[in-house]
Structure 1
Amino acid sequence: MATAILPGELVPAQHVNLKLGPGLLQASTTESPILATRAGALHHSPNGARWWVESNARRYVPAAQESVIGVVTARGGEAFRVDIGSAHHANLDGLAFEGATKRNRPNLKVGTLVYARVSLAHKDMEPELECFDAQTHKSDGFGELKGGLAVTCSLKMCRMLLDPSHFLLPFLGARFPLDAAVGVNGRVWISTKDAQTTIVATRLIEAVDPDGGGMDEAAAKIFFHKINS
């Protein structure tokens, strides 16, 4: 159960493999206390290994190990500059892909969508991205997003969609073939069998978004049948 927390409050997070998400800060030593840096709802995983603070922020603040959807804005040398909706652009190394070598690197063009994981996030440095699982070095679904459509929504909506118990994506997937990628930075990528179906899916996401229509499950199902008829 989430509890309300304010900036500066101590967080009782303890775990052998502790990972801190957005809104929490710990000094360089493991014995240092963990403090909240933003107001919101304090959450943790069932085993207490991961802790984070959810708040209705307007701008995404990068945190390590979070999945994001970015847009390539420039290429310089062996790396790419990627807009992830934060205060600063992120860096994506050309070798940060499954199987990438100096002779075999992805050739991403400006405007390309990528699904990536934040590998480095620090308040005094630009964020860095990678498009593979750090443990297996497999793509694990990360990389270039081809086709489909990216929709912008609230940060809260993205976290809702990442919750396995949320109704929306299973509801859509039961009605037509669907590929989706959810970035916690306020972007969702949808790809379906045709453009019309993709637009239906994106309109439903916008309708359920708390910062949009805020529809519940019953209202969303009625809305779906109305726009899909």
Structure 2
Amino acid sequence: MLSQLKGKVGSVLLPGDEFAMDSLSTGDTISLSAPSKPNKMVCGPGLRRCGDRLLVFRGGLLRHKEPNMFWIDAHQKRYVAAKGETVIGIVTSRTGDLFKVDVGASELASLSYLAFEGATKRNRPNVQVGDLLFAQLLVANKDMEAELVCVDSAGRANGMGVFGAGGLLFRVSLGLVRRLLAPQSDIRAELEQLFPCEMVVGMNGRVWVKSSSNQRTLILANLLESCENMTTAQRRQVLGKMAQGSF
């Protein structure tokens, strides 16, 4: 099984494609959690085990991460909330001690005023309707309302909270988001080299940018939206021409 999948990494797989489990050696399993043994395989988004078969239920490129994690990288615009992901939300209302936040999913998420670093009943955070929030999903499943926090496991903000003064918020596909959040993202590095800027990327497909002027901010936003449909050579050619101009 592992050799079959590794041989297909980078290939386009379609819904309905399947792999037989017969080639798995004794002790190998398909898991939805992190592997505890080197020979255990982790199924990510787009792959599902069905009896003695491994099924593909989302079309896209097969990706692999060492040691044995596989998933389907697909073009997707609709966001489905997932626990642990960091997202950009918009505060829509306040109900009692809870804020309602739009994260781009099918339903609003809730955020307690105590879910901020240093927040207490007397020291409440200054959050207004319409503010942008960079937050993490603490609870996210189909049977419960999504819940956000603006602190990490140690109770620190770690970059989360209210932000967005003077910048521009726009939407991109989830595939482009994953490319921007990669540890060594060529797209992000090349854009920041062209125009020094602040950039916040949410796993829900929202991106916020701010540069030294409104014109540069708009140019960066347009370039980001165009990058997904360009090859690496085309992108570098466009950025090279932009670098020769004066803005």
TM tier, smaller: 0.7 to 0.9
- What is the DSSP-based 3-state SS (H/G/I as helix, E as strand, rest coil) of the residue aligned with 1:168? helix
**Alpha carbons of 1:25 and 1:89: their partners in 2 closer, same or farther (altered >3 Å)?**
farther
Contact residue 194 and residue 243 of structure 2 kept, 8 A: no
The residue that corresponds to 2:30 in the other structure is 12
1:119 and 1:43 mapped to 2: Cα distance? 26
Within the candidate set 163, 171, 192, 1:173 is matched to 192
Within the candidate set 158, 162, 172, 1:140 is matched to 158
Q: Does 1:46 align with 2:79?
A: no
2:97 and 2:161 mapped to 1: Cα distance? 16
The residue that corresponds to 1:208 in the other structure is 227
Contact residue 14 and residue 57 of structure 2 kept, 8 A: no
**Alpha carbons of 1:40 and 1:176: their partners in 2 closer, same or farther (altered >3 Å)?**
closer
**Alpha carbons of 1:41 and 1:104: their partners in 2 closer, same or farther (altered >3 Å)?**
farther
Contact residue 87 and residue 137 of structure 2 kept, 8 A: yes
TM-score by length of 2: 0.73
Within the candidate set 158, 171, 174, 1:152 is matched to 171
What is the aligned residue count? 219
Contact residue 117 and residue 156 of structure 2 kept, 8 A: yes
The residue that corresponds to 1:192 in the other structure is 211
TM-score by length of 1: 0.79
**Alpha carbons of 1:217 and 1:95: their partners in 2 closer, same or farther (altered >3 Å)?**
same
The residue that corresponds to 2:236 in the other structure is 218
The CA deviation at 1:172 is 2.3
1:125 and 1:36 mapped to 2: Cα distance? 27
1:74 and 1:20 mapped to 2: Cα distance? 38
**Alpha carbons of 1:140 and 1:129: their partners in 2 closer, same or farther (altered >3 Å)?**
same
The CA deviation at 1:46 is 3.2
**Alpha carbons of 1:80 and 1:177: their partners in 2 closer, same or farther (altered >3 Å)?**
same
The CA deviation at 1:195 is 1.6
**Alpha carbons of 1:208 and 1:142: their partners in 2 closer, same or farther (altered >3 Å)?**
same
| Equivalent residue letter for 2:35 | H
The CA deviation at 1:54 is 3.3
**Identity percentage of aligned residues:** 36
The structure number with the bigger radius of gyration is: 2
**Alpha carbons of 1:8 and 1:87: their partners in 2 closer, same or farther (altered >3 Å)?**
farther
The RMSD of aligned alpha carbons is 3.3
The CA deviation at 1:116 is 0.8
1:155 and 1:181 mapped to 2: Cα distance? 14
2:223 and 2:88 mapped to 1: Cα distance? 19
- What is the DSSP-based 3-state SS (H/G/I as helix, E as strand, rest coil) of the residue aligned with 2:222? helix
1:165-223: per-residue Cα shift (whole Å, max 9, x none)? 3322211222343211111111101122222221121111111134xx67743243146
**Alpha carbons of 1:129 and 1:163: their partners in 2 closer, same or farther (altered >3 Å)?**
same
1:227 and 1:202 mapped to 2: Cα distance? 17
User: Which residues in structure 2 correspond to 1:27-106 (within 5 Å)?
Assistant: 38-41=58-61, 43=63, 45-47=65-67, 53-106=72-125
Of stretches 88-97 and 1-10 in structure 1, the one that deviates more from structure 2 is: 1-10
| Equivalent residue letter for 1:46 | E
**Alpha carbons of 1:2 and 1:214: their partners in 2 closer, same or farther (altered >3 Å)?**
closer
Q: Please, which runs of 5 or more residues in structure 1 have no aligned partner?
A: 27-33
1:132-172: per-residue Cα shift (whole Å, max 9, x none)? 112x2211111111311112111111111111333222112
2:92 and 2:58 mapped to 1: Cα distance? 30
Of stretches 166-175 and 119-128 in structure 1, the one that deviates more from structure 2 is: 166-175
